[in-house]
A and B are shown apart, each in its own frame.
Chain A
Amino acid sequence: MSVISDIAAELADDARTAAMAPVESVKDAKYTLEGIREGRVSPATVLKTAGITLGAAVVVALLLFPLYWVAVGAFSGTGASLYSSSGIRLWPADPTIEPFLWVIGDLIVPSYRISLGLGGYEVFLQTPELTFLDVSQYGVTETSEFKRFFANSLTVAIPTVILAMCLIVPSAYALSRRQFIGRSKVLYGYVLFTQIGGGLGVALLIALYALFVQFGFNDSKLALSAYYAATAVPFNTWLLKTYMDGIPVSYEEAAMMDGAPSWKIVTEIILPLSKAGLATVFIFTFLTGWTEFVVAQTLLSTDNYTLPVGLYSLVGRYSIPWARFSAFALTFAAPIMLIYLFAQRYIEGGLSFGGMEG
């Protein structure tokens, strides 16, 4: 799994940079102070820089304040009046992780009794009960349906990824390396859809719903996965094609000279070299199924709600305090945000949006 070790190396790099940042800025500050003392830098310039930087930092802080506010809310106690009307708190009133316990609920693997018939004898195996987290110990009696939504989301997202990868990888290879009839038309169509087709999903919803009902597919998580895979095809095919375009053709030529058949060139050269692109496409297709809301909400019944629909079902339910709602939302969104931002960075090198040369 060299992708994972690559990612680990990058993360370590980031951590080092982050850890060194204060040291570096102290060095900078020292250098500036020396400059002032020796009269090389005028104090006015330094003050101006500091002021402007502070102003920029305030702008950034204001932009991200809603997220901070959600986090503060999620760690607050679940009183009915969470915030006194005295104003905005920068720190949770009564810090607690109770809302998160409500979201996650018990993590207990119940014990199973397995009986085996062995030629007249019967052997019973009793698996032990595994308790990872028992929230009732912390005074949380009723819990959210997060785990059920999570399981539903997984059963939608995993088939989406499998199907999408099966469709995307061969297309991307063919579009990147082979010439055939209609190639530029397919490519043009995919790019066009990527640019303007994003909102088509809701517009098509009526037809999609009617068709799914008539085929008996409504409330089928597998059919929903197939739909997600289909919508993921244009952008991700184009992305992977662009990535594969960056692999030098000379590698393949060398392998061809050595007499490698073309399938071997694909498995030994193209696929290993595009692993970062494959990882990115994997993440993007996974997130397609994991985060989509409108179609899932229309097609699925309450039992099959995925996480986004589950989150929406909590909106405006006054029995659910804001603290619990924020905790639910954060538990859903925080991992996605981290994965997404990392994926974005990881592909920066491979992805250039001008990479549309025939």
Chain B
Amino acid sequence: MSVVDSAVERVADSPVVSKDDLPLLLVLPGLFVFLAFMLFPVLYLVYLSFTNAEPATLFQGKEQWVGLANYVTVLSDGQFWNSMGVTWLFVATSVALKVLVGLGIGLVVTGERVRGKRFMRALIIIPLGLPGIFTITIWRGIFSSAEFGLANQFLRMAGLDSIAWLSERWMAFLAYNVTEAWLAYPFMVIITVSALQDVSEELHEAAMIDGAGFFARFLHVTLPSIKRPVLFASILTAAASFQQFLIPYVFNQGGPSRTNELLIVYGYREAFRFQKYGEGAAIMLVAVAVIGVFMMLNVKKGQLADGVDDA
């Protein structure tokens, strides 16, 4: 009887892990690699946020523990609160836009009188297959102030003056919103269409017999039946908006002059542009905590985890 055998036997006898749990070995490698690249960096990020790490100190192993100093600095910084405000404003406006666009397109491509609906739906979700960096660089071209900029060409066609989209604060913000809406509309349309298809025909017919017009039926029959799926989609997409990084980063680095830095962009730039790893880490953790609480509240209130709970 070798040592190994007895070790195996001991493991097999232990109350926590039994011999039947051997399939666990098939799952562990994946779990281990996942945790090594996800959980470990999270812990390290927490550590960094309590130090004065900068490239000059960190890579020499000379970073110092500074306690909560980074959090104090960040939370008392006007720049941080500006970012927080802009981020929530972006969440509000972009989610509203996405829901409206998704609902509008959803109604169009499920319309009773529209022919070739399936074909249209197939075309409409094309942007889903495009890499994010492609879509966003293309939209940067659309809002470009150069001569080819599509947005300005439309303005000129309408007889209006060109706008320097990316160097004016609110115009840049508007450009972010439009791009975000275009990025997310296939997802919203898919959810909305499947919800619209589940709306009961009978209710519609009953309402029609009672003399309800199109808008009355939309308000009192369609909307209540699609409310839950659309709410679910908007909460997921709100989280995506909150974490938006690429659009501001590619468009104008969250500019002009740092006014439009969404939280994640702000943390990224503090760390990599201004070399303050500690503060950057603190910002990222605050952002993750905020979005975590937001999601948790929504999941609790909207009972969104119903489908997952019995896993």
A-side interface residues toward B, CB under 8 Å?
Answer: 21, 25, 48-49, 52-53, 55-57, 59-60, 63-64, 66-67, 69-70, 73, 81-83, 85, 87-88, 163, 166-168, 170-171, 173-175, 177-184, 186-188, 191-193, 195-200, 202-211, 213-214, 226-227, 229-231, 233-234, 237, 287, 290-291, 293-294, 298, 308, 311-312, 315, 322, 325-326, 329, 332-333, 336-341, 344, 354, 356-358
Contact = CB atoms under 8 A, between A and B. Distances in A.
Nearest to A55: B108
Nearest to A195: B236
Q: Is the interface of B mostly helix, strand, loop or mixed?
A: helix
B41 A66 contact: no
B129 A175 contact: no
Contact of B21 (A171, A180, A195, A210): A180
B307 interface: yes
Nearest to A67: B126
A181 B53 CA distance: 40
Contacts of B240: 198-199
Contacts of B31: 171, 186, 233
Given A191-B308, A200-B38, A210 B33 contact: no
Contacts of A163: 33
Interface stretch (B4-12, B79-87, B109-117, B211-219): B109-117
A105 to B, nearest CB: 20
Interface stretch (B89-97, B169-177, B220-228, B264-272): B264-272
Interface residues of B, number: 93
Interface in B224-239: 236, 239
A63 B109 contact: no
B134 A356 contact: no
A128 B295 CA distance: 63
Contact of A174 (B26, B126, B134, B307): B26
A356 B246 contact: no
A124 to B, nearest CB: 46
A199 B243 contact: yes
Q: Is the interface of A mostly helix, strand, loop or mixed?
A: helix
Contacts of B271: 205-206
Interface of B: 16-18, 20-24, 26-27, 29-31, 33-34, 36-38, 40-42, 44-45, 48, 53, 58-59, 105, 108-109, 111, 113-117, 119-120, 123-134, 137-142, 146-148, 150, 153-154, 156-157, 182, 185, 236, 239-240, 242-243, 245-246, 249-250, 264, 267-268, 271-272, 277, 280-281, 284-285, 287-288, 291, 295, 307-308, 310-311
A167 B112 CA distance: 47
Given A85-B156, A356-B308, 8 more contacts: A196-B295, A197-B38, A208-B37, A211-B41, A325-B141, A336-B129, A336-B131, A340-B129
A230 B35 CA distance: 8
Contacts of B137: 311-312, 315, 325, 329
Contacts of B264: 199, 202-203
